[in-house]
A and B are shown apart, each in its own frame.
Chain A
Amino acid sequence: MQRLQERCDFFEGLVKSTIENPPLELANIWLNYYKMVVKKYQRNKRAVEQGEPLAAVVFPVAPEIFAAMDIPTFIVAGEPLMGLEDPVIYIDEADRMGLASGICTLLRENVALVAQGYAPVPTVLVTTTHPCDSVNIAYQTIGSLEGWRSIPQFAVDGPYLTDERALDYYTDEIERLIEFLEKHTGRRLDENRLRQIIEESNKQIDLWWEYKELRRAVPAPHPPEIQMMPYFVVHFWNPGDSLGTVWFQDLLADAEERVRNKRGAIPEERIRVVWFDFRGTWRFELGFWMEQEWGAIVVDDIWSHCTMPKIDTSSYRSMIRGVAERSLDHIPMYRQFRVPAEVYLEDLVRAVKDYKANCVIWPGHMGHKDATALTGLIRDTCREIGVPFLGFWSDLFDARVTTIEAMKAEISQFFTTMGLGVKDKK
């Protein structure tokens, strides 16, 4: 409870400071985004205070269902470390717990934080069996922690392929999840409420696709931190909430104005980068340097790369199937790293073409072992479409593995060699 209060205080502090000292650009976008986060944590807090159901979810799955059942969620693969100044220290804590160093650092950190009480003890624990082995280890570890062992647990099983049969299977899995939630939380899924949530969410998806069109403009209208927010608004904070729709409308209006006036996110855009993975916790430092030193802006990454479809609300089954489809095939990482390589490569080619990228960077995250074998295929694909490719090895959540300075050196060498941006002049 204390941790939830701290989290509320942290994001309320951001709201307050954004009101008192608004940034020169995009103040409204940041402010309303923070308000959505605060609303989410206030809801979490109320659930704990009033003994209402609360679900701990390892990675996002079917958020529309939880919203429609009024079961607040806490994503244990990411939320425990949000707002912490130096989460890296919890990697050592994870080592002490016996978690192998090959497990994704994001999950190691968060599991250690959960063990230290940084997540509210939930009514139910829900996970997915995808997209990576680290999620499975994290789920099993969290589920066996003191105080969590007796919590009812459910794993939504994700098939490997992405076709009609796979979707039928996953739709049944979502139905099983609903049964589980109804049994263990006492909440019922109301079809009309689900329709309301999805219809609001569909409006947001429409706006997101429009935004995606505007993002094609040169120069890029918004920085990558803004580009990646839509996923979190649609699927993470308060799915189906009208606040999110208003936020999207503001986002779109701002982007339209910038595109009309050819006003870019950075003063002198010279390089457009597709960074086709997550961007690390060190993204601000590296991104700022890329922008300042090279005029290089990340125009797409897997958070920002929208493929999410609208959901058919004509029947109960069509809604469940639509929810399943979004979760299985359109959540970043589930989409790209769960399935055969073609999906990732096709998305990559589309990203390069749509956003007129000059180059592709693949950070080779240590936790994405399921994607490591892609490196050669990405290189081949980039060569085929004639776009320079840089791949290196890093830990997206621990800059000690490949330091920021080492990454800067790699990127500088790459830009220079490929004749992108300015030369390496003294």
Chain B
Amino acid sequence: MVVAGCDIGSATGKAVVMRNGTIAAYVIIPSTPNPEKTARLAMDEALKKAALSSIADLDYIVGTGYGRLKVGFAHENVSEITCHARGAHWLCPTIRTVLDIGGQDCKAMSLDEKGKVVDFVLNDKCAAGTGRFFENMARVLDCGLDGLSALSLQGRNPPLITSQCSVFAESEVVTLINEGVDLADIAAGIHNSIANRLVSMLRRVGVVEDVALTGGCAKNRGLVKALEDKLGVKVRTLPVDPQIVGAIGAALVAKERLGS
């Protein structure tokens, strides 16, 4: 049985092909302005990697992510909250709290022992605490996303950045640069500011260990550290790229739909 999950986010498109319950292939590609095209490109590449010739070789496909309604070849669409929860729990059954930080939104979820979502909150109205915020700050500091993360880990005396709005935070960061504050400290301050916001979201659903981070921002080591410091708990490292957890969850839902 071969199934697939396709997670179309604002920044990247992800596809996972699963054969008999194990990951056969996955891809992550940058999103195009057309979600349908992104889905098609991601899936074609994943099929190729899995040595499959066409979509017809897949028994069931589930779409997820903000562009899920545009995954024309999917048999079904499922919300990304469900998919991230399902994926995280499959990868690590002891996970009880998931924080998904995507390109344009973030979601905190609490799971029961079966991986069912029991509560969730999301921020999809504002860029604070999302990949877009970090992209913007990386641009202001002229260091790239990876550079921003690495820089933040070197910060020793992070300033307090009070604005969580990405527009106001940018003004605040520009002021700090002009005042000559060390860039590493500013980067650490940025991560602390966002971690504060994410922690308050997490507390709303209740922080129960194990805690996992999913989505592209989960690869930001500076953010992971800032969160761990503020939560006082260690974030569980997942055995796969955290960016594909939603697509894995979608593939698992596809597998369930086939009754196995």
What residues make up the interface of A, taking CB atoms closer than 8 Å to B? 376, 379, 382-383, 386, 388-389, 413, 416-419, 423-426
Contacts and interface: CB of A to CB of B under 8 A. Distances in A.
A426 B60 CA distance: 14
B82 A417 contact: yes
B4 interface: no
A412 to B, nearest CB: 8
A423 B117 contact: no
A323 B78 CA distance: 52
Nearest to A418: B117
A164 to B, nearest CB: 37
B77 A426 contact: yes
Given A376-B204, A379-B204, A416-B82, A424 B119 contact: no
B118 interface: yes
Top 9 A-B residue pairs of the complex, sorted by shortest distance between their CB atoms: A417-B81, A416-B79, A417-B82, A417-B79, A413-B79, A417-B117, A424-B77, A425-B76, A383-B119
A418 B109 CA distance: 11
A386 B119 CA distance: 10
11 contacts: A379-B204, A382-B119, A383-B110, A383-B119, A383-B206, A386-B118, A413-B79, A416-B79, A417-B117, A424-B78, A425-B77
B236 interface: no
B120 interface: yes
B116 interface: yes
A388 B78 contact: no
A382 B78 CA distance: 24
Given A376-B204, A417-B82, A383 B76 contact: no
Contact of A417 (B74, B75, B120, B205): B120
Contacts of B205: 379
A382 B119 CA distance: 9
Interface size class of B (residues with CB under 8 A): 10 to 19
Contacts of B120: 417
Contacts of A382: 119
Interface string B32-46: 000000000000000
B76 A379 contact: no
A413 B77 contact: no
Chief secondary structure at chain B's binding surface? mixed
A413 B81 contact: yes
Interface of B: 69, 74-79, 81-82, 110, 116-120, 204-206
Nearest to A380: B206
Contact of A424 (B79, B110, B117, B204): B79
Contacts of B81: 413, 417
Contacts of A389: 119
A424 B118 contact: no
Given A376-B204, A383-B206, A423 B119 contact: no
Given A383-B110, A424-B77, 16 more contacts: A376-B204, A379-B119, A379-B205, A383-B206, A388-B118, A413-B79, A413-B81, A416-B79, A417-B79, A423-B76, A423-B78, A424-B76, A424-B78, A424-B79, A425-B77, A426-B77
Contacts of B204: 376, 379
Contacts of A388: 118-119
B30 to A, nearest CB: 26
A383 B77 CA distance: 27
A400 to B, nearest CB: 16
A426 B76 contact: yes
Contacts of B77: 424-426
Most chain A CB atoms below 10 A, which of B76, B117, B119: B119
A406 to B, nearest CB: 10
Contacts of A379: 119, 204-205
A192 B119 CA distance: 55
Nearest to B83: A417
A231 B116 CA distance: 39
Contacts of A383: 110, 118-119, 206
Contacts of B116: 419
A383 B204 CA distance: 11
A389 B206 CA distance: 13
Nearest to A383: B119
